[in-house]
A and B are shown apart, each in its own frame.
Chain A
Amino acid sequence: MKPLIKISSIFLLGLLIACGGNGEKKEKDQIKVGQQSKTEKKSEPATQSTSETSAEDDMANLGIGPIKSVDISEGINKEMAARGKKVYNNLCTACHKMDNKFVGPAQGGVTERRSPEWIMNMILNPEEMIKKDPIGKRLLVESNMAVMANQNVSEEDARAILEYFREYDKTH
């Protein structure tokens, strides 16, 4: 019995030494699970083929909510875009950045991926959008189940945010 305990002790000691020796290394090296994807940064969950939609379909999707159609003029309403930027910075940037994915998707280029109606409906009616809209459902999964928050933005301000996105996408 005694020798066994001794052996175990030596083994434990070894473990301790190993830990000490690795102090400088990154902690992720200590866990070796799913080594195939080791080099990838946390891969985004693959979308199910059944809910997959083409880019064309995405642009045709108006979303679900109060906005049935949006009047878009050729140019940018600067004043409206400025207001939109202010509202966006206050109410949205805790989860969205323009140029990279944060909690939610990167917002840059959104006007090229989504219809204006869809964008406004996602802002105004997020609870229903992430439950029923095919893109909304897909994005919820891609965002690690972080729900799109309803920030009680007025229709006018949602339109202004859209204008800010349009301006951003034209200049970037």
Chain B
Amino acid sequence: MKTIQKLLLGLGAGLLLVGCGNNSNDNSSGAMASSNAEQVYVAPGEHDEFYAFMSGGYSGNLTVYGLPSGRMFKEIPVFSQFPTNGYGYSEETKAMLNTSFGFIPWGDSHHPDISQTNGELDGRWIFINENNTPRIARISLTTFETDEIIEIPNSAGNHASSFVTENTEYIVAGTRFAVPNPQKDMPIDDMKGKFKGPLSFISIDQETGRMNLDFQLNMPGFNYDLAHPGRDKSHGWFFFTSYNTEEAHSMLEVNASQNDKDFIAAVNWQKIAEYVENGGGKKVAGTYAHNVFDESTMTATTEMKEGVISVDPREVEGAVFYMPVPKSPHGVDVDPSGQYIIGNGKLSTQLSVYSFEKMMKAIEDKDYDGDAYGIPILSFESVLEGVVDSGGLGPLHTEFDGKGNGYTTFFISSEVVKWKIGTWEVLDRKPTYYSVGHLMIPGGNSRKPYGKYMVSLNKITKDRYLPVGPELEHSAQLYDISGDKMKLIYDFPTHGEPHYAAGIPADKIKSQSKKYYELEENNHEYAVKNEANTRVERNGNEVHVYATTVRSHFAPDNIEGIKVGDKVYFHITNLEQDFDVPHGFAMIGANTSEILIMPGQTKTIVWEPKREGVWPFYCTDFCSALHQEMQGYVRVSAKNSNTKLRWKLDEDWNE
């Protein structure tokens, strides 16, 4: 008996060992899966270690996730109307979506980037660009709301954006679709040499965060795709990739891939900023909207601005150069030391690594290989430091872990490749599901990456989740990169198409997150801070309702004397002064959305009653056990009736 037991035990153990060995390449089952589960498990009530801000792509917004759990906490409306809270519908926020083309209710958000100090994430603001109608937004990381949007004139396809310099001196915006500058009616066939690709530099006020369009570098009309600021030793420079140096304007799929090499534009922005400060450049036409949300008045205003300083890159000695890059580059990335500039040639298998030192020496030696529209082209051999020969196909983007390694996504071969800075040898590769675009390591594009997790942001989802018809959310994968080999530990869906993401340790910002707005600091023009002051005022056919909310009633909750054809402004102030006690407001037949009003906040929607009757309104956010009772009525009379304007809460009517 005993021997049989021993034998069985031994056999069993042997089988287990063999089993583990076999599973080492497959993380999706068995013991490995349970250890992966432990890594991403954030127990109920506990918090994630990192915030991840995912661009919403064609949703126009920005979503906030936790890592490693992959839980979504918030969608921050930026470039699109958001009926969930009334952004872009409420009177206070409509101005945020104004442009020189008029009110635009939608945008295509792309690349979030967190503000920095000395090249490290500082958690003051996060910026994100809009590709379609060129704009950049600044979002507060205390309220997690959009505070400012600036339009970029004379540009199109704002893709090489919104990357920040290492002290948040500037945010850049590129031009991916070369256009006539200034815009004019001309034959498309005459594009070559006539179109331009302006690169915009937006300075940031360090106190307020306010953006100012400082100057535009009027570059030749290539397609400027992505950008990365210099870091540390290369601080003061900015690098922009370009494609379509062929200047094709039709069938770019073929015609923009004719040249073996396109360019990285190396721009010494410090030199140009100095030049502009000393009166350089000339003011050219360019109309653009600058929308600012004032946290004190809780109201956004638009200033339509005219004119921008344009700089001819050839007129600033030693400021702008081209470096050749093979195979239509997409991303350009700079390692944390600032020494290496990585060109990701998207139609090749290799990464081209440039040395900042070599670049400076080539500039000094005037080691040129011709010029493009008068801009010197540095000799490829002189500036190239090395090549990462991965065998992967279609490199797009690179981030860093702060431990001497780079991680590059390969779209065509659907994988992330880890390689060593300096030797350029490939250390590891892992598949992604499927067709990865950007990747994100918290701080992975700064001087100080937090190299614990890496997220791949994939373009194709297919079978990763339960099917929901033809249209799918995108898919992200979370990798543990703390060891020698990358380890895929989790899948989670992302909203819209996240083109890029920015991560930051939670400890850097969670304590500054605002809990509610102080009523005493509410300087909204139509705020009422106690029920005694609630009232209804008529001015012609415009009616202003100064109302309040508290758990669980509106004041007033009965209004009479409204007439068909009136324009009724409901200004609702939430009198609550506690964390997470919003009230909502919805009015039957209003052609806007609800508004969700945070404690201490005032928001306004307009209602234009069309029919006589008695019409209800109610609170949309379940606020207390008596939430269902939080409702009221508006009596609407005929246009020429003489129903008296009056209002009440409970017993007595006021007039």
Q: Which residues of A contact B (CB under 8 A)?
A: 89-91, 93-95, 102-103, 144-147, 149-153
Contact = CB atoms under 8 A, between A and B. Distances in A.
Interface stretch (B271-279, B379-387, B544-552): B544-552
Interface of B: 516, 519, 529-532, 548, 550-553, 555, 575-578, 581, 624-626, 650
A95 B577 contact: no
Contacts of B529: 90
A91 B577 contact: yes
B530 A89 contact: yes
Contacts of A144: 626
29 contacts: A90-B519, A90-B529, A91-B575, A93-B530, A93-B531, A93-B532, A94-B530, A94-B531, A94-B548, A94-B553, A94-B555, A94-B575, A95-B550, A103-B553, A145-B626, A146-B551, A146-B552, A146-B625, A146-B626, A147-B551, A147-B624, A149-B550, A149-B551, A150-B577, A151-B576, A151-B578, A152-B516, A152-B578, A153-B577
Given A93-B532, A94-B531, A149 B626 contact: no
A23 to B, nearest CB: 15
A130 B553 CA distance: 20
Nearest to A86: B530
A146 B578 CA distance: 16
A147 B550 contact: no
A41 to B, nearest CB: 12
A17 B577 CA distance: 52
Nearest to A127: B578
Contacts of A150: 577-578
Nearest to B548: A94
Contacts of A95: 550-551
- What are the 10 A-B residue pairs with the smallest beta carbon separation, nearest first? A94-B550, A151-B577, A150-B578, A152-B577, A145-B625, A90-B530, A94-B531, A94-B575, A90-B529, A89-B530
Contacts of B625: 145-147
A145 B627 CA distance: 11
Given A91-B530, A146-B552, 15 more contacts: A89-B530, A90-B529, A90-B530, A90-B575, A93-B532, A94-B550, A94-B553, A94-B575, A95-B550, A144-B626, A146-B625, A147-B624, A149-B577, A149-B581, A152-B578
Contacts of B516: 152
B519 A91 contact: yes
Contacts of A103: 550, 553
Nearest to B625: A145
A103 B650 CA distance: 11
Contacts of A91: 519, 530, 575, 577
Nearest to B576: A149
Nearest to B534: A94
Contacts of A152: 516, 577-578
Contacts of B650: 102
A35 B244 CA distance: 85
A89 B548 CA distance: 13
A108 to B, nearest CB: 17
A98 to B, nearest CB: 12
A150 B519 CA distance: 14
Contacts of B550: 94-95, 103, 149
A38 B624 CA distance: 29
B530 A149 contact: no
A151 B599 CA distance: 10
Contacts of B519: 90-91
B643 to A, nearest CB: 19
A144 B629 CA distance: 12
A126 to B, nearest CB: 9
